Structure 1
Amino acid sequence: MVYMCFLVDQTRKVRRSKPAAGTCSRCGGGARVAEMKTATRFCYVPFYWKSWKAIICTYCGAILKSYR
């Protein structure tokens, strides 16, 4: 028998960020506007990535709103 195992993972990185007005609705921490990069890898080889903006919490790291 032959078993095939494929490893697919996805990573998110904050490229740049700046302060934004408002607070987090979950923990009450401050908010930041961040430029995010999402990379999807298949067997450790990146084959898809995209850049997008999001409002994230500085304390808990939750994504409050995303702009794709």
Structure 2
Amino acid sequence: MVCFCFLVDQTRKVKRSKPAAGTCSRCGGGASVADMMTQTRFCFVPFYWKNWKAIICTFCGAMLKSYR
């Protein structure tokens, strides 16, 4: 009997960000508009990535809104 085990993970990275008007509804910190990149890896080899924008809190890091 042969058993295969594969590792799949997904990472999100902030490529760049700039300040935005408004505050976080959770902690009251400032908000910023960020260009995000999601990368999915299969056995440590990236096979899918996507770029998108999101509004994130600068203090707690919560994602307030995403634009995919």
Structure-1-length-normalised TM-score: 0.97
1:10 offset after TM fit, Å? 0.3
**What does the per-residue CA deviation read over 1:4-45, in whole Å, with 9 as the maximum and x for residues that have no partner?**
111000000000100000000111110000000000000000
Identity among equivalent pairs (%): 84
What is the aligned-residue RMSD (CA, Å)? 0.6
**How far apart are the structure 2 equivalents of 1:4 and 1:25?**
45
| Aligned twin of 1:17 | 17
Structure 1 segments, 4+ long, off by >4 Å, are: none
2:24 is matched by which residue type in structure 1? Answer: C
2:56 maps to what in 1?
A: 56
Structure 1 residue aligned with 2:26: 26
**Gapped runs of 5+ residues in structure 2?**
none
Partner residue, 1:66: 66
Please report how far the alpha carbon of residue 2 of structure 1 lies from its aligned counterpart in structure 2 after TM superposition: 1.5
SS in 1 for 2:60: coil
Instruction: Provide the C-alpha distance between the structure 2 equivalents of 1:27 and 1:49, rounded to a whole number of angstroms.
Output: 30
Q: How many residues align?
A: 68
5+ unaligned residues in a row in structure 1: which ranges? none
TM-score by length of 2: 0.97
- 1:30-49 alignment, distance < 5 Å: 30-49=30-49
